[in-house]
Structure 1
Amino acid sequence: MSTTRLFDQDAYLGEFEATVGRSVCEGGMYRVLLDQTAFFPEGGGQPSDEGTLDGIFVTDVQEIDGEIWHTVEAPLEPGKTVVGKLDFEKRFSNMQNHCGEHIVSGIVHRIYGFNNVGFHMGSDVITVDFDGVLTEEQLYDVEQEANEAVLRNVPVTISYPSKEELETMDYRSKKEIEGQVRIVTIEGCDSCACCGTHVAKTGEIRLIKILSAQKYKGGVRVTMLSGEKAYADYCLKHINTLGIARLLSVKPEEAGDAVVRLKQKNIEMKKEIKQLKKELYALQGAPERK
């Protein structure tokens, strides 16, 4: 049964009606096939949407052999018309994060020539693997340019070019794709083959933050966040920095240096204590304790 992919037509659609085509029970869980759906199935590094069908929780969505199956917590009768409601807060967060990743990957590819060879959007952070090594300074520049793209609020467009058009286009793709190719273009930033959901304009991303980077398989794995999650991460770290600054009686921007001084002082005090113990044992005529 072919399912109409409403999420491709409108990424902002949070509620829809559909007819149940088939329903199966496997391992105590129920899976249903609909004639149309706004639930995005897991793919391209992006997790599936969650939500409800007639109030029944949808816990997973997978595309298997071209069919989109929804895992639900109770059975639904074939032929029944149901109302689907997405957890749109999660959907929009995925849109922000996926679009933010495209911007960062596009900038890295354009400036340094490195390819995105792996992408995973987890519940807490997203990771992007590049086939070349990037320094902290380079990643800082990438982040700065990425946020400038957010501020420009440029359009994010979806297109389905013909085979002939694709041959003349410059776009990123991790693998050879058979059949119709879906291209996500971010004006002035990136053009990439992608099946995921994205915001309509970059301003909706709000913020892109690179959290860390580590060497990985000859390249680098970048951990990052975009949108509401990036802002929440900043707020949490800001609160922690304020707390440390208060404890050390310094300004928040001086907290890092103050911790370094405290650590160095601790090292020196340990050395001093060790020396004093050595002198004490010598005076007592006792062997030095290790």
Structure 2
Amino acid sequence: MLVVETQKLYYENVYQRTFRAQVLSCEAEKEHWLVVLNRTAFFPEGGGQPGDRGVLDSVNVLDTKEKEGVVLHITNAPLSVGKLVTGGIDWPFRRMHMQEHSGEHILSGVLHRFFGVNNVGFHMGSACVTLDLDKPLDAHQIALGERLANEAVYQNLPIEIGYPSVQELETLDYRSKKELTGQVRIVTIPGYDVCACCGTHVARTGEIGMVKVLGFMHYKGGVRISMLCGSRALRDYGERLAAVTAVSGLLSAKPEAVADAVERLLQEKDALKQQVSTLQNDLLAGKAASMQPAANGLLCTFEEGLNPDALRHYSTLLVPKCARAAAVFSGEDGHFQYAVAGAEGIDVRAFGKEMNAALNGRGGGKPGLVQGNVQASRKEIEDWFAQHKED
């Protein structure tokens, strides 16, 4: 591959969407091609920001990466070396990343200034942007950071990009996740942040639209913040509003009262669940009392709608009706859950293993009770139990 450093048009004009360039090389790589141009407006993956996508003539650019100053365009078809092509970037995709990158800078800068935390990780994912900070923060601190970041958006401040000299860098207070050598690109948002960065940014903070924190979690001794900005934040808000409105209609509650309505519904559900459990236990106790003793020491019965807890409970209720073990199955033909309880002094673990081997099952437990599932029909289960006469 030709190693000729690519002219990076995205640094000369971040808003340039189309350009003309010459193909310097095109090499196959698995099912894709790596195309190198003499100049490009496609930003390559770097600094937590994904690479641009778009087209070169009629060929799709699926991703863009950089290696030793050379921008590699990953395409779905080859291009002839020496050909002049017209490139067009996917502008909504790029603008979204510009909004998010600039918004992340502001939030990181604010949290660094107020709480002394450092940005140690940053990633623009398909669902949201994640920001990793080296110290823990609480919900109030993060909410303050979000509020101040949006103040910067409202002020529509210019975002300044410069390349300070080595002497200027020595006296400049700026953020950076790693030690830097050579020419350093500094992105400044006056009054909010000064940071070394290779990514693309909007020209003014007003273009960010909004900065919205979605949530946070403790992560590696610090905190990981999930956030969105601009067009993706607006889309996310629309989706959440639609979901709340739908739930509001289902619960016949105002949107602002949905949480209280759901809490009441869950309380009612728990109360009904307890009532059902009590009635089910009474029913099972009655059935167990009326059950005839097992003639061969083994009792096998089927009961619809039992969860694992109820299976265990019913099998222990049936133990007095048998000399060896009581097995209860629940489910549908071909797939049953089971519980097997042993009579006093009986270890049913070996019995459970034998049953699992014969009935394509899985499970285990303690000496007095085993539980699991089998892939067998009711007839196959009943026939297997019928063959196990008491020794």
- Common fold, TM-score beyond 0.5? yes
Q: Larger Rg: 1 or 2?
A: 2
| CA contact 2:152–2:192 (8 Å) conserved in 1 | yes
Question: What's the secondary structure of 2:145's corresponding residue?
Answer: helix
- CA deviation map 1:252-276 (0-9, x unaligned): 0110111112112211222233334
Q: Are 2:51 and 1:34 aligned?
A: no
Q: Which one is further off, 140-149 or 25-34?
A: 25-34
2: CA distance between counterparts of 1:210 and 1:193? Answer: 23
Q: Which one is further off, 231-240 or 268-277?
A: 268-277
Question: What's the secondary structure of 1:124's corresponding residue?
Answer: coil
1: CA distance between counterparts of 2:63 and 2:282? Answer: 68
> Percent identity among equivalent residues?
49
Q: Are 2:239 and 1:236 aligned?
A: yes
Equivalent residue number for residue 134 of structure 2: 131
Equivalent residue number for residue 175 of structure 1: 178
Match of 2:202 among 199, 203, 206: 199
2: CA distance between counterparts of 1:28 and 1:174? Answer: 35
Equivalent position amino acid for 2:220 in 1: K
For structure 1, which runs of at least 5 residues remain unmatched after alignment?
none
For structure 2, which runs of at least 5 residues remain unmatched after alignment?
291-309, 314-391
Q: Are 2:117 and 1:114 aligned?
A: yes
Match of 1:163 among 162, 166, 171: 166
- CA deviation map 1:49-80 (0-9, x unaligned): 00011121111211112211111222222222
Deviation, 1:284, is 7.8
Equivalent residue number for residue 366 of structure 2: none
1: CA distance between counterparts of 2:284 and 2:200? Answer: 70
2: CA distance between counterparts of 1:73 and 1:283? Answer: 69
User: Which of 1 and 2 has higher RCO (CA within 8 Å, sep 6+)?
Assistant: 1
Match of 1:71 among 71, 74, 86: 74
Aligned residues: 290
2: CA distance between counterparts of 1:10 and 1:286? Answer: 84
2: CA distance between counterparts of 1:90 and 1:285? Answer: 66
1: CA distance between counterparts of 2:179 and 2:279? Answer: 69
Equivalent residue number for residue 184 of structure 1: 187
Equivalent position amino acid for 2:122 in 1: F
Equivalent position amino acid for 2:96 in 1: S
- Structure 1 segment 1-290 matched on structure 2, within 5 A: 1-278=4-281, 286=289, 290=313
What is the RMSD computed on CA atoms of the aligned residues? 1.8
| CA contact 2:96–2:230 (8 Å) conserved in 1 | yes
Q: Which one is further off, 244-253 or 18-27?
A: 18-27
2: CA distance between counterparts of 1:281 and 1:36? Answer: 78
Q: Normalising to structure 2: TM-score of the pair?
A: 0.71
Q: Normalising to structure 1: TM-score of the pair?
A: 0.95
Which contiguous aligned blocks of 4+ residues in structure 1 show a shift greater than 3 angstroms? 275-287
Deviation, 1:283, is 7.5
Equivalent position amino acid for 2:54 in 1: G
Question: What's the secondary structure of 2:21's corresponding residue?
Answer: strand
Q: 1:285/1:174 Cα in 2 relative to 1: closer, same or farther (>3 Å)? A: closer
Q: Which one is further off, 100-109 or 139-148?
A: 139-148
- CA deviation map 1:108-138 (0-9, x unaligned): 1011100010011112211110011111222
Deviation, 1:282, is 6.7
